[in-house]
Amino acid sequence: MRFLPALVFAIFGLAAVTPALGQETKTNPVVVIETSKGDITLELYPDKAPVTVENFLGYVKSGFYNGTIFHRVIRRFAVQGGGFTPDLVEKPNGESIVNESKTSKLRNDRWTIAMARTDDPNSARSQFFINMRMNLDLDSRMGRDGYAVFGKVIEGENIVRDIAISNTHSVGGMDDVPVEPILIISTTIK
């Protein structure tokens, strides 16, 4: 009877699937954001949000994010960065991308990273935000476009939390700007 489990797997097609010899299993890209508060490590989901991940990785590879800041911090909601210098000058960036919130089916759960945008659903460019709670009102639903999630923080949640509790003020017509600038020193693909 010791052959019974093998027989059951063979009959019902439940045999374990393993990659062929010499074949690599595909892993999701991992990006490290080095900040003035510490490192944040992200896992990206190109299978769910391919356009958004490609866009983000393009900015990472070009060094665009280096020297930008987290310019909007709302405690118990989100931290936003990737578009402004410490002097609050917006960096010129590329074309906007299509919003994948409806097709990806990813939710704005705590620790997920999503693209920031204007009221135009297809206006995301370089800016991103990290959700500090389950922000389900930012999800796509009932025909309404949401904010496109494309990854998740896998290390450095404590760093994101430190950023989220920063003291903020209004400056130059912008609200929720950290009093002490939080610099994105570099972004690298791990």
Q: 19 pLDDT exceeds 80?
A: no
According to the model, what pLDDT value does residue 143 have? Answer: 83
Give percent of the chain above pLDDT 70: 87
**Residue of 80, 59, 62 whose CA lies nearest to 70:** 80
According to the model, what pLDDT value does residue 16 have? Answer: 45
Per-residue pLDDT of 36-67, as tens digits, reads: 999 999 999 999 999 999 999 999 999 999 99
Task: Dump the DSSP string for the chain.
Answer: -TTHHHHHHHHHT-PPP-PPTTPPPP---EEEEEETTEEEEEEE-TTT-HHHHHHHHHHHHHTTTTTEEEEEEETTTEEEESSB-TT-PBPP--------HHHH-----TTEEEE---SSTT---S-EEEESS--GGGS-BTTB----EEEEEEE-HHHHHHHHT--EEEETTEEEEESS--EEEEEEE-
The model carries a pTM of 0.86
Quickly state the pLDDT bin for 178 (edges 50, 70, 90): very high
What ranges do the domains of the chain cover? 25-189
Give percent of the chain above pLDDT 90: 84
Q: Looking at the DSSP assignment, which residues form a beta bridge with residue 184?
A: 35, 68
Indicate the fold that domain 25-189 takes in CATH: Cyclophilin (2.40.100)
Per-chain mean pLDDT for the chain = 90
Q: 95 pLDDT exceeds 70?
A: yes
Q: 99 pLDDT exceeds 70?
A: yes
Per-residue pLDDT of 105-154, as tens digits, reads: 999 999 999 999 999 999 999 999 999 999 999 999 988 999 999 999 99
How far apart, in Å, do the first and last CA atoms of the chain sit? Answer: 48
